[in-house]
């Protein structure tokens, strides 16, 4: 995927109002990215819905066990889980009518991207962004994410 295509997909994704973040956790040792993304999107004015089958609420908001349980559905879903969990979540997204999915990746070692899940999205007509971090795009990008984005663009790491 070329950076311009990724830019356009990220712009479209972040233009949506209702965004689910799958993988939010109270345990920040291994799951801090989902909470950070959740809070950033909420501060930017999005209606953000936390998704985790093991939580009843996150940051004072009701947490849902899956996409199909969210009243009124969502426009997009950001997945911040282990790759082996991502495939089940994208299948849930398809069942719930979610048409845009972003599989978070901050490095090759901390990635939600599952090749099988990416294939499933494409075969199911779900627009998928397989990699990168939503916090690298949109308004108010912090210096750390700006630098990360630049380094990934220079190294070819923002490709499909």
**Segments making up each domain of the chain, as ranges:** 3-155
Closest CA to 101 of 25, 32, 9: 9
pLDDT tier, 4 (very low <50, low <70, confident <90, very high otherwise)? very low
For the chain, strand residue ranges (E) read 18-22, 47-51, 57-58, 61-62, 76-79, 100-103, 105-107, 110-111, 127-130
Considering the entire predicted model, what is its pTM? Answer: 0.86
Q: Which fold has domain 3-155?
A: Rossmann fold (3.40.50)
pLDDT band per the 50, 70, 90 thresholds, residue 132: confident
Q: Measure the CA–CA gap between 147 and 108, rounded to whole angstroms.
A: 17
**Section 100-127 average pLDDT:** 89
Average predicted confidence (pLDDT) for the chain: 85
Q: What is the C-alpha end-to-end distance of the chain, expressed in Å?
A: 4
Question: Residue 34: helix, strand or coil by DSSP?
Answer: helix
């Amino acid at each position: 995927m070329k950076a311009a295509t990724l830019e356009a997909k990220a712009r479209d994704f972040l233009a949506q109002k209702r965004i689910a973040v799958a993988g939010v956790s109270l345990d920040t040792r291994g799951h801090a990215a989902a909470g950070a993304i959740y809070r950033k999107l909420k501060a930017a004015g999005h209606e953000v819905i936390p998704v985790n089958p093991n939580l009843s609420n996150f940051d004072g908001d009701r947490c849902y066990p899956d996409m199909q349980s969210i009243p009124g559905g969502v426009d997009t879903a950001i997945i911040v889980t282990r790759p082996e969990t991502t495939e089940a979540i994208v299948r849930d997204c398809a069942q719930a009518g979610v048409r845009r999915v972003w599989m978070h990746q901050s490095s090759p070692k901390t990635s939600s991207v599952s090749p099988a899940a990416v294939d499933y999205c494409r075969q199911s007509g779900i627009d998928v962004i397989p990699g990168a971090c939503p916090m690298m795009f949109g308004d108010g990008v912090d210096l750390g994410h700006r630098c990360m984005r630049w380094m990934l663009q220079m190294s070819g790491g923002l490709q499909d």
